[in-house]
Chain A
């Protein structure tokens, strides 16, 4: 799964070697520019678009991957944007819709670039440097560590369900079964959290987060 998210996070390029804060600042400034520049200065959008594609190509992220991700993203931004002209009786709101879709895609591509040049653990260290409270970073780190475990658990439950020939049924029945699966997953995860908490306590956990770089 993580292979799909930040597939190119571990490759080597100038973009990957940039200081993390600079990457973050670059991404934020391009997104802000994309949202804030009025439509009448449309040449600026061309420049931003070129910048984004240049960034992707320097980072070595192939076009096919971008297109694949965009195709997943487009229905989401599209369904929201299409509701604008739909609600106006199809005679207004088309230009606003296009504007939203364009800005959305631009920002999405910038985010995608950032995700692919900055692996999650680097983001955590950066957040820590930016004085985000230690407990927030600790929870995020914990989440990132265990989301894959919970995922595997979910996969196991899916396999078990398939092995017992679960299929069809009324919508109500299927919703009930799927929700029960989430409920059981929740109980199992919280049981696991209690075990982890016990293990943490036995290793001297007192609720305070200590980071190695705090001692510098």
Chain B
């Protein structure tokens, strides 16, 4: 899932790195307000946990298996800012220990998983929770929807970065976008189910752990910024579905990419296949995006309902009591 070095051009890596650096710097600044002197042990332990939790393989009936990514989970426990920092440091440690994820591409990975995942995911999560009125159902549905949207948004942003990294003649943007977003709509369902289950377990056992940052951090809850962030994530997700239908978007991107390329003097791969005319497969991409969108949304909401119902582990009374308070 990580972007490795070599996927994106140096200039795009630097640009995403600058954005991530700003976001993480701001998160560091805000983190202390919410967690105080508990910052280091809590954030560090959350990081270790995500690190270890990613080692649990989830079978999907194929030779490959999925795992937790954890951006939304970290935000659900620690709040957006400390969650962002925790995921960022997980990514740093994964590079430094596994050489997984690349050094130049670290900025892009942080942007996708920590900034979009934790900060954007948190915004979506709290919005959904507010709409559903709290309680177990709100917490689970919020985390499920946020986890799915975060994966989708990350894939859409990755496609844009990829587009800006290479010359337009090398590939058809619409096609790669379709494939990536369709795939990630499915991957996102997995992430959403895992996050939903984990959140519901925690909610039933230790409801106080969900959103520890909330009571002391009043500024996070300022609705304007939250709606802005939620709007951003939703817009990205909508863009993901709408992009194949809107024919102007690739053109607009082309001009941006041209400007980028002049600045970065990126090469066009003059390869074996560059001169071939592209065979348009017009039908399948619109269809598959629609199917992915509708199917994915349905699956996510079904998962939210099922997870909310299928968790009679033990002591549901504690959960209802806590919800009642």
Report A's interface with B, CB cutoff 8 A: 2, 5-6, 27-28, 31-32, 34-36, 38-40, 69, 73, 76-77, 80, 83-84, 86-89, 91-96, 99-108, 111-112, 114-115, 120, 123, 133, 135-136, 138-147, 149-151, 153-154, 171, 174-176, 178-187, 189-190, 192-194, 196-197, 200-201, 205-207, 209
Which of A35, A142, A179 is close to B44, meaning CB atoms less than 8 Å apart? A142
Minimal Cβ-Cβ distance residue in B for A205? B37
In the bound complex, do residue A34 and residue B5 qualify as a contact, i.e. CB atoms below 8 Å apart? yes
Main secondary structure of the interface of A (DSSP, over half): helix
Tell me the bound Cα distance from A153 to B103 in angstroms.
30
Tell me the bound Cα distance from A175 to B92 in angstroms.
28
Tell me the bound Cα distance from A205 to B40 in angstroms.
11
In the bound complex, do residue B279 and residue A95 qualify as a contact, i.e. CB atoms below 8 Å apart? no
In the bound complex, do residue A35 and residue B10 qualify as a contact, i.e. CB atoms below 8 Å apart? yes
Tell me the bound Cα distance from A100 to B102 in angstroms.
13
With A111-B103, A178-B58 in contact, do A144 and B197 touch (Cβ < 8 Å)? no
Chain B, interface residues (CB within 8 Å), range: 35 or more
With A89-B278, A95-B269 in contact, do A140 and B93 touch (Cβ < 8 Å)? yes
Which of B5, B172, B267, B313 is close to A31, meaning CB atoms less than 8 Å apart? B5
Q: Is B215 an interface residue (CB 8 A)?
A: no
Minimal Cβ-Cβ distance residue in B for A114? B99
B window 48-64: CB within 8 A of A: 48-49, 51-53, 55-56, 58-61
Report B's interface with A, CB cutoff 8 A: 2, 4-7, 9-10, 13, 28, 32, 36-49, 51-53, 55-56, 58-61, 68, 73, 77, 85-86, 89-90, 92-93, 95-100, 102-104, 166, 170-172, 175-176, 178-180, 183, 193-194, 196-202, 205-206, 209, 267, 269-274, 276, 278-279, 281, 310, 313
11 A-B pairs with CB atoms under 8 Å apart are: A6-B97, A28-B103, A93-B171, A95-B271, A107-B103, A107-B104, A139-B44, A171-B59, A183-B202, A190-B42, A207-B40
With A179-B194, A186-B53 in contact, do A115 and B99 touch (Cβ < 8 Å)? yes
In the bound complex, do residue A32 and residue B6 qualify as a contact, i.e. CB atoms below 8 Å apart? no
In the bound complex, do residue B278 and residue A92 qualify as a contact, i.e. CB atoms below 8 Å apart? yes
Tell me the bound Cα distance from A2 to B176 in angstroms.
37
Which of A5, A38, A150 is close to B52, meaning CB atoms less than 8 Å apart? A150
Chain A residues within 8 Å of B193, by CB:
175, 179
Nearest chain B CB to A184 CB, angstrom units: 7
